[in-house]
Structure 1
Amino acid sequence: MSENEHVHTPRDLFGYRLIRDELIPDLLGNHSKDILYWAGKKLARNYPCQNEGEVIAFFERAEWGNLSIIKQKRDEILFELTGQSVQERFSHHDPVFTLEAGFAAEQIAMIKQYHTEAVYTRNKKNCVQIELKWDLKEPYDLPSRKTKQ
């Protein structure tokens, strides 16, 4: 294993899970899902990706899980989110993935240049599917991209 590679153990994810799945829902209450969705969109505007491959790489870098494209059509994409961080979150709570869905929706909106919305579902394999649809009649019109490193 090289110096830059890191193997994650459940202990590595404890702090993330503690904040994400216990503290934030307690602080935000019933509004947690909506606020996290819009927070994901804001994060996407701060960390724009140029294509779907960069979105996938961002998810790995943020340790949100392994994102892959399952299906793509003219006006929609179906992503699947898997990996140890997803499994770890499922093993302790019934986690929400609206932050990830909002992030993906805004990234695809910026890439495709159409207003995009996302919904997520948990499937029987304990992975998350994020379905994104964009409206070809509604061009994307949010502020210009900023880049953070």
Structure 2
Amino acid sequence: MIFSQKKTPEIDKTELQIPLFGYDLLRKDVLPDLLGKEHNIILYWAGKSLARKYPVSSIDEIISFFSRAGWGDLTLVKEKKSELIFELTSHLFIDKKTAICPLEAGFLAEQIQVIKGFIAETNEELRSGTPKKVIFHVKWDIHDRTV
């Protein structure tokens, strides 16, 4: 069968919006069912893998990626010798008792690992209030260089 070579108009993917309900269905119901009780750790490693597919070279590019991916507004709030602290706010966290972001945490860990040149890991914590925030602590050991 020969398919038509007719061109379809380009869709500006930056303007598309996903309904919050649909996002929640995938993130909170489908993925945990598919991945089982270890879904958070699997999503963390999936975030690291995603970072390798979409490498960046600066923190500004990480912040831009979060925005483009619809993950929320990422802000670097503190920089220490071997730790970066980021804050993530998003309309996705409204009316949520908990907001966990293992995919985003893994993505951050891998990107910072490449940028800093040391093995890095990210821990997250939920800060209540209005708006709710997820705080990411990205830490690395200055004695544990990447190869």
Structure with the larger RCO, 1 or 2 (CA within 8 Å, 6+ apart): 1
RMSD: 2.1
Match of 1:135 among 116, 128, 141: 141
Contact persistence 2:99–2:126 (CA under 8 A): no
Structure 1 residue 96: deviation in Å? 2.4
- Partner SS state of residue 48, structure 1: coil
Unaligned runs of 5+ in 2: 1-11
Cross-structure match for 2:84: 77
Is 1:61 the counterpart of 2:94? The answer is no
Please report the TM-score for the alignment, with normalisation by the length of structure 2: 0.83
Higher alpha-carbon Rg: 2
Structure with bigger helix share is 1
Amino acid at match of 1:55: I
CA deviation map 1:82-123 (0-9, x unaligned): 021333xxx356342111100000000011111000010001
Cross-structure match for 1:102: 106
Aligned-pair identity (%) = 41
* Count of residue correspondences: 134
Contact persistence 1:21–1:95 (CA under 8 A): no
Match of 1:49 among 56, 71, 83: 56
CA deviation map 1:13-71 (0-9, x unaligned): 22222111110011112110110000000000000111000000000011011000111
Cross-structure match for 2:39: 32
Match of 2:115 among 84, 102, 111: 111
- Partner SS state of residue 79, structure 2: strand
Contact persistence 1:64–1:86 (CA under 8 A): no
Unaligned runs of 5+ in 1: 142-149
